[in-house]
Amino acid sequence: MAITSVRTSINPVGGPVSSNRAALSVVTTLFFMWGFVTVLNDVLVPHLKAIFDLNYARASLIQFAFFTAYFIFSIPAAKLIDWIGYKKTMVVGVLIMGLGALLFIPSASAASYPLFLGALMVLAGGITALQVAANPYVAVLGPPETASSRLNLAQAFNSVGTAIAPWLGGTIILSGTRENAEVVRQMSGAAQQAYRVHEASSVKLPYLIIGVALVALAVAISMFQLPPLPGAERHGQIAGESIWKHPQLVLGAIGIFVYVGAEVSIGSYLINYFSQADIGNISELAAAKYVSYYWLGAMIGRFAGSAILQKVRTGTVLGIAALVACLLVCTSILSLGHLAMWSIILVGLFNSVMFPSIFTLGIAELGPLTGDGSGLLIMAIVGGALIPLAQGRLADMIGLHHAFVLPAICYLYIIFYAFRGSRPVPVKPSE
């Protein structure tokens, strides 16, 4: 018998179970797409770093631009749910994602780093709307007792995308032979620009395909009948209700901030980390394939986590996963060679259950405030912008190897949230 791990005060979606399963299958395709697109950033970081001769801090602006969009657009996306509902918000999000992907084509033609950053922000703005709508939709699309399990399952397909993206993206985007950085610096201005245009062109085809696929997906979803979630929506304000009165939500937002920051920090620098002489001593192309193992671990862990969370409390699973992840990062920091490589790769396996678990613990018992609570949690994904930037600056000062201490600290907070901070405190409407 499943142990109740997350309870909500809203009614689960009524109607046939088969209808809910069909809706879950459709929404799961969205999880796959945003996972695929997001993790392509791990390939873009070393690629654009080399093309534009960037240090680690400037290269981390790729993740900064991408994840800052979550902070900017999350609350507007939550309000959009209040106005037009979950389904239409998902469609709008996918269309904006498609536009952002297509903007990579002029960015590559101009070989402009600021234009690339702008395209990433548009792309991430679409993903933000999608996440604000899709995560709570899956969480309440069925019995509250299995909310964490259901969201872990959907996130597992997100991880299928994250596992495939570095392999395919690395093969297509990093397959060329780049000039040595010193040789490029000695070129004339015109020759440098021509070289950058040539190298940047490798992103055109993959992002063109992604853009077209996303537009087609938006059209398909708009024609599919998704069950409404009236109990998880609110139209207008409710007197006396405030998301800030729910400590499990506020502390959960911090948990999402540090979790995404840690996960993205690790993924962003793995290619550069593995190519170091005392770690992997391999090419960037070969390193990109090892990054797939990091995200493959997340995929395996989410499928396994979906089953485990049918039997074990969400907070317990989350706390153990964060503890092991912290120990693995510390092992990588204190070692070299293959041990350093594989210990950091294995972190992906234990990252797997963290986002869906923190998310479902955070929105527990929010009722009609679920959409606004989701907006706050998704806004906290801005940690993926700030923590990699901080790690990039730290890497420039003390070296990339030891800069991984920052993600280790992040996992310590998640341990606290899992065992103490995630406990819901009942709030009376009159308070």
Residue 2 lies in a domain: no
Interior angle at CA 380, CA 375 and CA 386, nearest 5:
145
Q: What are the backbone angles phi and psi of residue 84, rounded to the nearest 5°?
A: -120, -5
Residue 9 lies in a domain: no
For residue 13, pLDDT over 50 is answered with: no
* Placement of tokens 């800052």 in the chain: 68
The alpha-carbon radius of gyration of the chain (Å, integer) is 21
3-state SS of 330-367?
A: HHHHCCCHHHHHHHHHCHHHHHCCHHHHHHHHHCCCCH
Residues with Cβ within 8 Å of residue 44, at least 6 apart in sequence? 62, 116, 173, 203
Cα(240)–Cα(142) distance, rounded to whole angstroms? 28
Cα(110)–Cα(102) distance, rounded to whole angstroms? 14
Residue 38 lies in a domain: yes
Q: Are 407 and 262 in contact (CB under 8 A)?
A: yes
Residue 1 lies in a domain: no
Residue 232 lies in a domain: no
Give, for 31, the enclosing helix (H) or strand (E). helix 17-39
| Helix 314-333 with 354-362: angle, nearest 10 deg | 140
Domain of residue 405: give its range.
17-225+237-421
Find the largest Cα–Cα distance for the chain.
Answer: 70
Residues with Cβ within 8 Å of residue 40, at least 6 apart in sequence? 165, 166, 169, 206
Residue 6 lies in a domain: no
pLDDT for res 92: 94
pLDDT band at residue 425 under the 50/70/90 scheme: low
Q: 173-187, 265-279, 284-298, 321-335 — which is least confidently predicted?
A: 173-187
Residue 23 lies in a domain: yes
Q: What is the CATH number of the domain that holds 400?
A: 1.20.1250.20
Tokens of 234: 């609110």
Cα(318)–Cα(356) distance, rounded to whole angstroms? 10
Residue 7 lies in a domain: no
Give, for 23, the enclosing helix (H) or strand (E). helix 17-39
Structurally, the chain folds into a number of domains equal to 1
Cβ count within 10 A of residue 54 = 18
Residue pLDDT, tens place only, 264-299: 899 888 988 998 889 988 888 888 888 888 888 888
* Placement of tokens 């620098």 in the chain: 269
> Residues in the chain, how many?
431
pLDDT for res 404: 94
3-state SS of 264-290?
A: HHHHHHHHHHHCCCCCCCCCHHHHHHH
Cα(139)–Cα(120) distance, rounded to whole angstroms? 28
For residue 14, pLDDT over 70 is answered with: no
pLDDT band at residue 99 under the 50/70/90 scheme: very high
Residue-averaged pLDDT of the chain: 83
Residue pLDDT, tens place only, 110-164: 999 999 999 999 999 999 998 888 877 887 776 766 777 787 788 788 878 877 8
Nearest alpha carbon to residue 35 among 195, 142, 166, 146? 166
Tokens of 134: 């899709």
